[in-house]
Structure formats: structure tokens, C-alpha cells
Amino acid sequence: MRETQTSEAISPPQPHAARPRRAIWIVALAVCAALLVIVASFPRIERFYLRQAGADDAATLRLATQVLRGALERTEALPALLAEQPILRQLLAEPQNQGIVPFTNELLRQTALSLEVSDIYVMDVSGTTVATSNYRSDTSFMGQVFDYRPYFADALGAGLGRFHALGTTSGQRGYFFAAPVIDETQIVGVIAVKLTLDGFEEAWAESGSVITVTDANNVVFLSDRTDWHYRTVGPLPEAALEQIATTRQYPPSLLQPLDLRTEALDPDIGFGLELANVGVESFVRQTTLIASAGWRVSIHTPTGPAAQQAWTAVLLLSLVVVMIGLVIAIILGRRARLIERLEAEQSLAALLEARVTERTAALKSEVEERRAAEERLRATQKELVQAGKLAALGAMSAALSHEFNQPLAAVKSYAENAGTYLDRGRTAEARENVTRISGMADRMASISKHLRNFARRPQDLTGPVRLKNVISDALDLMQPRLRNVEVSYTCPDQEVWARGGPVRLQQVLVNLLGNALDAMQGRVPQRIEITLTDGDAPEISVRDFGPGLSRAALDQAFDPFFTTKEPGQGLGLGLSISYNIVRDFGGHLAASNHTEGGAVFRIVLEATEPDSAEVAAQ
């Protein structure tokens, strides 16, 4: 009995090869179930990538909206500024004056080029165009009647008109701003500025997504997809269609519905993203507003790449599951054989496990490298978007805003105080505040004068000019400011002749003298040196004894709206205007620092002989 027990105790256990084989079938069923779950999860995976694609394009939508809004805001103030020009009131008072009309047309053309707008045109109270910047074009607005446009009626009634439409004459889409031209207290006409918007579409086309701008009537006004132009994305009431036809905003025949079907991407989460189907195309859509124009800006991200990423993720997950199932099945198969031949195949099983571990580590490393590459790409995209946003900022809108907001704020404060003084019977203080308001108005008028001077006419008549006379006239004009300044003037004995215009050349000298006085403000004593030299290239130099110009100031001295003066002391247009005037004469204007201190501005002109008919008029 004892021997039997010992024999049973030391006998090896019998192998159970059937258990690993049953486990292999269980693993196979588990793998199939996992694959079914992965395939069933495809819609959720796809929506994840769709949300990610929408989030990536959100920055593009913000940038496009900010650039479009900035262009509209920058242009909005222009009609009111341009309406202050006296030549417009004179033109509207004498529309048949053949001397004023060509001058005004060219003035508007140069202004449009300087301000980078499409067209600027003036209409009388009947809506007839009497002057336009595109007078040279085959599609000139001269003589065209635009009284049917809402911006014309709004400018006459509310003081500011704005409207977007397809041009009936030019055939170009644009946004129109208009302001009344007022002669004393009477509206005598309207000036309009047109901003074309085609350039925005060219920039949008590079994004890879479709950007649309829809107006309040659900009409697609802008899009980098030309086949979407003037398509409606919602119901168009009969009243709206009648208004579009009356104002000739769009050709009614082009207003066809866009086969658009939308649904919320995540109804329960509410990320603001939509699935939009246009015909057979599918997009992720998100929308923002430009309230001032009544526009909705939408970006449509194609769902194809996101769907492809989702299928790739499903395939990768399926591959991992199959690989894991195969590994487990192999391990179980090996285990079944090892139970039968444990000693014979022990080394082979160890090698197989090592290879499985190595392959798993390689797969993990590959996944980590791919994730790191995606993070780097996302960070680079954010940096590029930020750089585009910084590059979209304009300097002119900031300068004009500061120059006008400061006196307007003072005018508001003085007006409120004057009302309080009148209520209390303190008429003297109220009259003083009214005087201050008048001063603020003079200041804003001065700013407008600078802007009008910047929009000069470069084709004025030029001819032989006595430079000595021009310098003397400029010194006489500046005499009230030069009383306490030592002026050193050196010139040759004989008369010096150069090609130019006496009035405009005098304007350049007055501007240089004024800048020299400003540079020496607060210094004692104050001194200015003026030198005139003769030769093949006559030269006028103006040197001040101020602190001189920095390297940055020398590089940008002649750029529009660049100034080293304190805010409120100037717009930075004087040197830019002077530079263009001298260039029109065939010469050039240069700035440098004197070796002994101070700044030197040199006017170099073309020499000429006093044999022209213009000499007698000087």
C-alpha cells in the first residue's frame, strides 16, 4: 500500500494538450469580436478626425475673417475724409467746368492708387457720376446713374452708405462705401469708394478648404469655388428677390439654390461644427460673423482626408488586434507542443518569445514616432497662422484712428461741459468750451488737409525754375517761425536754373524747414544752414543742428505715415509727399546725418536752360 502511494506521488503529470487548443479557438473568437467592435466604432473614429480637421481649420477661418473685417474697417473711413476736399464742392457747383473735371478725375485716380482701392467716384444729388478715378477705362463710370444703389440713398439720408454687389458697369464684385459731400449745410453730392474682393478669393484658394461669404439674404457672395458664386444656401423670400432686382445687387438669373444639406456633427456635445453635403461632396463646416457687413463667413473642410485617416486608424487597430491574437495563438500552440516535448523545444520557445517582444517594442516605437511627428506638424501650423495674423496688421488704420479719436474725445468732453455751463447760466465758460471745440475741428481739418496733399497730381506742368527765387519765397513764408533762428544761406552769384514747378518746390522747402525747426525744438541756440550749388545737377541742402536721425528713421524717412514726432504732432506724410514731388521733377530727395551733428536733406534736380516759355510767367 505504501509502495503504491509512493509510485503515484513521483509519477509525472499527464499532459493536457487539449486545453491550449481550446484556448486558441477562444482567442480566435475574441479577435473576431474585437474586429467587429472596431468596425462598428468607425463612425465615432471618423467623427473624431472630422472634429480634429475642423479644429485645424478654425485658425484659418479666424485669420480670413480678421483680414476681411480689417479691409472693410480700413476703407470705411475713406469716403468721409475724401468728401472734405474743396475741389469736390467746386466740381459739384460747376459740373460743366471743363477745367475742373479732368483735374478731379486725375486726382481721384491718384488717390485710388495711393489708397489701394478699386474705384473712387463722385455723384451729384441725382446719382449721376460727374467724376471718377477710372475715367481712362473702357468701363468708366462717367455719366452713369447709380441712384438705385442703397449706398447712394443712405449717404444722402444717414450720412454713411455701405453696400456689396456685382458692379453693373465693371462686372466686378465689390463693397461700396459712400459719404455725402456737404457745402456749408447743404448736401450737394455723394462720393463713393469701391473695394474689390477678388484678391481674397485668390488667397483662400491656397488653404485647401472652401471658404464662403454669405450675405443676409443667404446668397454666396464670395468663395474660392467659382461654381458656388451667387448660389443660395437658404430660402430666398420674394421681397428679398425683388429688392435684389431693384438694387441690381446680383443678376436674378444667377440665383440658383445650392444643393446643401447640413446636420450637427455632435448634437450632444455642441462643438459648433456641422456636416455639410453639397451634391456628392461632403464637408465639415464652421461659421463666424462679420456683423458690420451682415456677412457669415464659413469654411468647408473636405471630409475625405479625415475619412482616410479614420480608415487608416481602423486598419491599424485591426492589425494590432490580429497581431496580438496571432501572438497569443502561437504562444498557445507552442505551449501545447511544449507540454508534449518540453525539453526538446524549450530553446525554440524562448527564441520565439524574444522575437515577439522585439516586434512589439518596434511597433510601439513606430507609433510614438508618428505621434511626435504629428505634434511637431501641429505646432508648426500654429506658428504659421500666428505669423500670418501679425503680417495682416496695417499701419495706416492705427495712425488715422489715433489722430482722429483724440480730438473727437476732446470735442465730446467740451460739448458736454458746455451744456452743463449753459444750464447753470455760465455763458462765458460755455463760450470758451465752444471755442475749444472749434480748435479741435481746425485740428481735424488740418489732418484732412495732409491727406489731400498726399493725393497730389504728379503730372503738373514743369519747366525752368529760378532756384534762388524759390528759396527766398520759402524763407519769406517761414519768416514768422524763423525769427529766433539763425539762418545761414549760401548760394552762387549767378542765377541757378533747374527743371521743376516753383509752387511745389517751395512746398518741399517749407516742409524741410518745418521739420528742421521741429528737430531743434527746445535747443538753444537754433541754427539752420541752407546751401545752393550749381552744375549739371543743382542741389539744395537743408541742415539742422538737432539730434540727427536714427538708423531706423533714415531707412523709413520717406515712407507714408512714418514719423518720429509725438502722437498728435503729425501724420508722417510730409516727407513722403516731398519725395514724390522731387521725383516728378526728375530729381531725388535724400536724407543723411552730418558728421558734426544734425540731419541734412539734399534736393538734387535736373539742370536746364532758361529758354522755355514758362520763364516769362515766373
User: How confident is the model over 272-309, as pLDDT tens digits?
Assistant: 788 888 888 899 999 999 888 889 999 999 988 888 88
Residue at 577 is within a domain: yes
161 and 222 share a domain? no
Closest CA to 539 of 475, 577, 585: 585
163 and 280 share a domain? no
Percent over 90 (pLDDT), the chain: 25
287 and 427 share a domain? no
How are beta strands 295-302 and 119-124 bridged, if at all?
A: unpaired
pLDDT at 504: 85
426 and 514 share a domain? no
pLDDT at 191: 95
What predicted TM-score, i.e. pTM, was given to this entire model?
Answer: 0.49
Burial class of 242 by CB neighbour count within 10 A (0 to 12, 13 to 18, 19+): exposed
Q: What residue numbers bound the domain in which 443 lies?
A: 396-451
Residue at 296 is within a domain: yes
136 and 208 share a domain? no
Residue at 52 is within a domain: no
Residue at 326 is within a domain: no
CATH assignment at residue 217: 3.30.450.20
Grid cell at residue 534: 550749381
Q: Which of the listed residues 275, 302, 329 is the one where a domain comes to its end? A: 302
pLDDT at 498: 92
User: How confident is the model over 191-236, as pLDDT tens digits?
Assistant: 999 998 888 888 888 888 999 999 988 899 899 988 999 999 888 8
CATH assignment at residue 571: 3.30.565.10
83 and 222 share a domain? no
CA angle (179, 183, 187) in 5-degree steps = 50
Residue at 445 is within a domain: yes
114 and 218 share a domain? no
Q: How far is CA 602 from CA 292, 502, 521, 533, in A?
A: 47, 17, 21, 11
pLDDT at 179: 95
Number of domains making up the chain? 4
pLDDT at 426: 86
472 and 605 share a domain? yes
471 and 600 share a domain? yes
Residue 179 CA from chain centroid, whole number: 23
554 and 481 share a domain? yes
Residue 530 forms beta bridges with which residues? 489, 542
291 and 265 share a domain? yes
4/55: higher pLDDT: 55
Residue at 370 is within a domain: no
- Is the confidence at residue 571, as pLDDT, over 80? no
Residue at 480 is within a domain: yes
88 and 101 share a domain? yes
Q: What is the arithmetic mean of pLDDT over 260-272? A: 69
Average pLDDT, the chain: 81
Q: What is the arithmetic mean of pLDDT over 32-60? A: 87
Q: Which of the listed residues 267, 284, 302 is the one where a domain comes to its end? A: 302
Task: Transcribe 575-616 into DSSP letters.
Answer: HHHHHHHHHHTT-EEEEEE-TTSSEEEEEE--B--S-SGGGG
Q: Which of the listed residues 302, 320, 336 is the one where a domain comes to its end? A: 302
Residue at 235 is within a domain: yes
